[in-house]
Structure 1
Amino acid sequence: MDWVTVLPPVVAIIIVFWKKEVILALLLSLFTSEIITIYLVEEAHTFFLFDGVIATIDQVVEVFSSPGNVRLLMFSTIVGALMALMRYSGGVTATVKLFISKGLVTNQQRAGLVTFFTGAVIFIESNLSVLTAGIISRGFFDKFKMSRARLAYIIDSTSAPICILILLNGWGAYILGLLGNYQLPESSISILISTIPLNFYAILTLIVVLYTIITGKVYGPLKQSEETLTIKDTELSNEVADTKARFMIIPLITLVFGMLAFMFWTGNGNIVNGSGSLSVLYASLLACLVGYFLMISSGDFTHQQVMDIGFKGMSELLPLVTIVLLSLALGSSLQALGTGEFISGIVADNLPLYLIPTMLFLAGALISFTTGTSWGTFAILIPIGMPIVINLGLDPALVLAAIMGGGVFGDHCSPISDTTAVSAVASGCDLLEHVKTQLPYALFCGVITIGLYILVGYFFI
């Protein structure tokens, strides 16, 4: 297989920016990937178009064979119910007014800082970080006339960089597992710790996010979103009357501490080894159950009213859940097609030593962008980067940091990433608007990161 392996993600990206239809783009990209597999790999030429349709359906169905995928889809749906219970109970409005009356959140800057530090503190799992920060902050952003696109940018650009820098989580455990197959000059843990100051993209992204929050300055499409919101101001007109802050605060506390408890439980006493997808699913279900009983016990809501609110919230997220489903199917299809291996193979051939970290960063970004998965990128590039470290005597922390940063960079830019979709879900932002408004900031940090890796490689390799 050769360059045709990159055709499916190219199709998706073209359609996304041309037709502004993400679901159509993902479907056609998946169909293209299956057609290429059937025609070139299996060499079945007679009914390959019909076979491509069948294979596309089968690939979507195959997503449900993975428990982790099913948990992610269930979580993405249940989140809709949880957010609806908090909102339509009046809990969100009451919490916003409580924070404002206590002087905790009094302006746009403080609203942004609450969002940032909420996401930063919950570094144990990226989806939980995004979800919690999004739920807490939606009311503040509406109150102070800040766009949902800005909220999506802050939570998305905080969660993964924090998780990849503070590695006491599933990210760290996963990467340690990948490193365990190689005889490296240092222990895997010491190498992982040494990547922290060398992960330039993650550090720069957090700095830029804080800059936009503290100064209040935003640029490009994000600035346009802010100006459009100021003119229309549609969210506040639909504000639900406040009732009790506990309708939001107690389920939210249940979600966070339930996640930590389930991580501890699924990890058999070791929170780092816990299952993130299982824990966040259990915690969100528990939070919904707590929200249900709070509303029923108040006497203001009947069982049927609460159920209707929950299903209404789920239905509002069905388009984004569909995007997550198709993203997972496309990722599996591209993995079978060999898209990531083809891209990494090009990068690994005939490179000057000092450019290897830079090119691995770019390869990580390209693979993550085209496949929509940073973890899949790590699985492809670490087996390429670590043998280079062993054979050429390069700094393993520098090479690993470049791979990790590249994976997160590509994920931030990709319209087909499931984490991008989850960020849009948590913030209540349109997916394409989130991609469009976040892209300039990610590219800015990515370009500076490339320059830094070139300098470090030139002077220290």
Structure 2
Amino acid sequence: MTLLSYADSALSLLPPVVAIVLAVLTRKVLLSLGLGILVGALLLNDFSPLASASFLAERVTGLVWSEGALNSWNLYILGFLVLLGMITALITVSGAARAFADWARQRIRSKRDANLLTMFLGCVVFIDDYFNSLVVGSISRPLTDRYHVSRAKLAYLLDSTAAPVCVISPVSSWGAYIIALIGGILATHGMSDLGHLSVFVQMIPMNFYAIFALLLLLCVALMGLDVGPMKAHEQNAMRGNLYDEAKGTPPGASAELPEADTGSIAGLFIPIGTLVFATLFFMISSGASALAEANLPFSLIGAFEKTDVGGSLFLGALVGLGVTLVMALVQKVSAAMIATAIVQGGRSMLPAIYILLFAWTIAGIIGSLETGKFMASLASGNIPFALLPAVMFILAGLTAFATGTSWGTFGIMLPIAADMAMGSHTAMMLPMLASVLAGAVFGDHCSPISDTTILSSTGASCHHIDHVMTQLPYALIVAFISLVGYGVMGFTESVLAGFGASSVLFVLAVLMLRRRARAND
């Protein structure tokens, strides 16, 4: 046996399966991820303890220092987390968060309104999924806490407006990445005359999971369709327990901080607004610089395709922190309170950072084991073309669930879907590409090792596994609705028929959830 002897085989599934199953059973995320990492390292090194230890040391070091240089992407994301924790804590000690909650209380008069406002903000802040989850969580948490919305519900609101919105928005980091992949696929198959953006737009109504996930979220927010684990969390929140205190303080939550009496809502909106616009500015400017270096004309889509997301988030957060400090001083917050906020805010992000580092490590090991390629290989064979959209949706979902990455799944599965379409029925090209996008977001929503899911938990200050388990029933319902739609679309070759079938099932599902929610009241 040699190094990578278990790559691209069924055994490559073992590390993610160990991590995911243990995380669900034990609720100990770091322990579960650690054991998954250990299993993967042993597989990659023929169960040699010394070689595995050396391999792990190299992988852990690579999170910070890789190929003779700093791993800027990872460091920027971690820096962004720390800076955002400081910004959130400063807003709290300045009294601005309480002022916003008091202000909103005059206008947002119910729990439903608080949920709808959070969803609205999640749909508006669509430039990046990380940014969406963390920033909208910081804005909404004081308000949802006031109206006894559980942190698990807030995490669901954040997660289900992050990836689903980004994956159908061309002006986002996700949209630009997908358009770039589509461009390469079209060029490979001699279809360069088709506009990359127009193809992406045509695929939006075919992305059943993203559309119906947003619609179900809207119904949950409007009608209070709380079932399963979510029902228990919401009932506990009404009794004042926003999260399970027996599990300790969740990531993103600061210790009880002092609050000044001089806070104003400007102390919240000006720093967060600055953070949003500064990040957007750095994303466009870094993308424009990359286009100029490649002698390419500037376009907004092109800038988002070439942008440095991690660096832009970090620089935007630095500017946001500076403005937050100025606003704290304007609101006459003492130096001692500011110092406390900075220390406690940075420290509050440590649990999320630990989980993220472990998740990145296991993702790298899963990549070395070529788990994604093994999942993709399952699509080979004589599959009737009518079943291909549904099959690709399932395989993309399983791949994203096992690997914890939507983007990685896009990169692996989109070219395979295009090849299968060209080899069987060209008219199914776009439906199959759309089914891969939909399946990847579904798998990402369900996976405990997904970085987007982890950061949604952090943005909501919710225990991670609680978020995964409460979101899972809703994700599975939408997945079933989408699967039926892709099956109908495959057999009829009609997007409208597939969308219609999914719509009928969606209405039935909402009625069923509403009846069940009322029966449990």
Q: TM-score, normalised by structure 2?
A: 0.83
Match of 2:399 in 1: 367
- One-letter code aligned to 1:249: F
Distance in 2, Cα, partners of 1:394 & 1:349: 19
- One-letter code aligned to 1:443: L
Match of 1:346 in 2: 378
* Alpha-carbon offset, residue 144 of structure 1: 0.7
Distance in 1, Cα, partners of 2:17 & 2:45: 19
Match of 1:251 in 2: 271
The equivalences for 1:52-451 within 5 A come to 52-64=52-64, 65=66, 66-101=71-106, 103=107, 105-181=108-184, 182-183=188-189, 185=191, 186-233=194-241, 240=259, 243-268=263-288, 270=300, 271-273=303-305, 274-302=307-335, 304-392=336-424, 393-451=426-484
Contact 1:364/1:381 (<8 A) preserved: yes
After superposition, give the CA deviation of every residue in 1:66-125 in whole Å (9 maximum; x if it has no partner): 322221222122221121111122111111111223x2x111111111111111111121
* Alpha-carbon offset, residue 439 of structure 1: 0.6
After superposition, give the CA deviation of every residue in 1:215-238 in whole Å (9 maximum; x if it has no partner): 122111111001012123469xx6
Question: What percentage of residue pairs aligned between the two structures are identical?
Answer: 32
Match of 1:42 in 2: none
- One-letter code aligned to 1:355: L
- One-letter code aligned to 2:346: M
Distance in 1, Cα, partners of 2:276 & 2:337: 26
Q: Check 1:199–1:291 CA distance in 2 against 1; reply closer, same or farther (3 A cut).
A: same
After superposition, give the CA deviation of every residue in 1:105-159 in whole Å (9 maximum; x if it has no partner): 1111111111111111111211222222211110111111110110100110011
Q: Which moved more, 1:267-276 or 1:19-28?
A: 267-276
Secondary structure at 2:148 match in 1: coil
Q: TM-score, normalised by structure 1?
A: 0.93
Contact 1:76/1:422 (<8 A) preserved: no
Distance in 2, Cα, partners of 1:413 & 1:394: 31
Q: Check 1:419–1:234 CA distance in 2 against 1; reply closer, same or farther (3 A cut).
A: closer
Distance in 2, Cα, partners of 1:233 & 1:16: 23
Distance in 2, Cα, partners of 1:348 & 1:311: 53
Contact 2:94/2:331 (<8 A) preserved: no
Match of 1:26 in 2: 33
Q: Please list every run of 5 or more consecutive structure 1 residues that lacks an aligned counterpart in the other structure.
A: 40-44
After superposition, give the CA deviation of every residue in 1:364-407 in whole Å (9 maximum; x if it has no partner): 11111111110000011112111222222243221111011111
Q: Check 1:219–1:86 CA distance in 2 against 1; reply closer, same or farther (3 A cut).
A: same
Q: Check 1:165–1:184 CA distance in 2 against 1; reply closer, same or farther (3 A cut).
A: farther
Q: Check 1:211–1:184 CA distance in 2 against 1; reply closer, same or farther (3 A cut).
A: farther
Contact 2:400/2:441 (<8 A) preserved: yes
Secondary structure at 1:267 match in 2: helix
Instruction: Indicate the RMSD between aligned Cα atoms, in angstroms.
Output: 1.9
Structure 1 moving runs of 4+ over 6 Å: none
Distance in 2, Cα, partners of 1:234 & 1:118: 21
Match of 2:17 in 1: 10
Q: Check 1:184–1:63 CA distance in 2 against 1; reply closer, same or farther (3 A cut).
A: farther
Contact 1:412/1:420 (<8 A) preserved: yes
Match of 2:515 in 1: none
